[in-house]
Structure 1
């Protein structure tokens, strides 16, 4: 079984396919390494693709120590995959929890990144939503402990931003829900508390994001309401970024609309690899409506 050992001694399971420029996929809270199968099959035709399960998600190790789970740990685990496999610089593609970690790669490990895709990011980050998010995560943690993931996963899979997935692709949704319910109860609770609940608010990281230079694609589903405001904020703050809003799409966009998602990411990384991805033109931010300021 292929594994990488992190700098703090945790074993991570990974899978890879293809050859060429490396691309690392980082899953959401409700996913695992299997969540990226549609992307692995598509991108492995021209890239070296790696998908892995985060700590707390078997077959990766499930550490019992709560301090082994944090936003920094999640970010450093991506770096461990990249350095452990000698990938050099990689395209990092993350969804939700994985999207947060991808953004933090740009802040803390920019030298390891060819580009970043941050999809479905923003839960709990909108102004005035922190207390609500923490209260909901506390309630979820209690239910995970009392019900196990085999039961609570049925509820978590039917979150408001996942209903459109169930509507448009019942077969794909059923597979997603079944895999979610297989997750470790202990690992899920520890991840919810250490990574999700305690992560820094995106709006508090404005200074770092304003200095980021890694090419970044932000992707939001237009029916994933908790991410829309944060996605606009990231677009306006990261000068090397672009924003894509996918129509009639919820949170699990790489599974809901894999063809549209794959084509958008392919167009992005092709521009990056071709050297044609450019930062925002400063004059476009001058505030004028009709005329740009003089260069």
Structure 2
């Protein structure tokens, strides 16, 4: 069961599970907490898991005006301050991964570690493997039918509000996010960048994201798409929990992570 938190900008629905270090799961665009179903039990066995549904998603109402990544990040900061009451690990999938990255940039004091799954830092036309998909999406079309079925039964704005939300999300994907590699370089939290090998976001863009974040780690999951948490949940859970548990990355022959003054760095 879930409950509402009265945050400054939006009354936000959330659920909790488990005990331990706080972990906030940030779902993808158009999604609800139902899409975490394959992961949340294992994560809840290791952590105190918080699952907020963002504005215009699931049980949380829409807010007047456009939908932006910055506004959703600000909501997440308020959730961390109000509900979690301190720093937490952030695991974000797709749009949730973008939100996690922005929160890590804006409020490093509230972020312990980050996992960004299928995330992007530039607008869809610049980084989607098939940018034309944005032109094909319509509120009542088959491409969004799965998401419409998630939205309509639980949305506090009612099922008739779906076309408004669909248009807002598609517009957000066309125009955002607009982060730079300089922005990403501000992230201090240990970060795991994860994607499927056949992801919606190109591998070239995913690699650029990984390279821009200091000391980030990269996991490309074989035989997986943008829906990798649904397709390979056991592997995704192992990667997430391994990242959260490790103190530091230690390898036998570091190149990118070679520290100044070491033999490895001197050889480069």
Give the TM-score normalised by the residue count of structure 2: 0.82
2:245 to 249, 266, 270: 270
Q: Against the structure 1 CA distance between its residues 123 and 137, is the aligned structure 2 distance closer, same or farther, given a 3 Å change threshold? A: farther
- 2:52 aligns to what? 52
CA RMSD of aligned residues (A): 3.1
Describe the shift of the 1:5–1:277 C-alpha distance in structure 2 as closer, same or farther (beyond 3 A): farther
**Do the aligned partners of residues 28 and 112 (structure 1) sit closer, same or farther apart at CA in structure 2, a change above 3 Å counting?**
same
Structure 1, unaligned stretches of length 5 or more? 158-173
- Give 1:260 deviation, angstroms: 0.4
For structure 2, the residue ranges without an aligned partner over 5 or more in a row are none
In the TM superposition, structure 1's runs of 4+ consecutive aligned residues that sit over 3 Å from their partners are 123-130, 135-139, 180-184, 280-286
Displacement of 1:123:
8.1
TM-score, reference length from structure 1: 0.75
The alignment of Structure 1 onto Structure 2 pairs a total of residues equal to: 254
Aligned-residue offset at 1:181: 6.8
User: Is 1:207 the counterpart of 2:208 in the alignment?
Assistant: no
Task: Mark the CA change 1:240 to 1:127 in structure 2 (over 3 Å): closer, same or farther.
Answer: farther
Query: 1: distance between equivalents of 2:100 and 2:77?
Result: 10
Task: Say which SS state the counterpart of residue 74 (structure 2) adopts.
Answer: helix
Q: 1:93·1:99 contact (CA, 8 Å) conserved in 2?
A: yes
Q: Is the 8 A contact 1:283 1:293 kept in 2?
A: no
Name the structure with the higher helix share. 1
CA 1:24–1:227: 2 relative to 1, 3 Å: farther
Is 1:92–1:116's contact at 8 Å kept on the other side of the alignment? yes
Partner residue in 1 for 2:100: 102
Distance 2:114 2:191 in 1: 5
Match of 2:13 in 1: 13
Which of 82, 85, 91 is matched with 1:84 structurally? 82
Deviation at 1:79, TM superposition (A): 1.2
Give CA-to-partner distance per residue, 1:39-93, whole Å, 9 cap, x none: 2211111210011211112311122x124x2111111121122111133111100
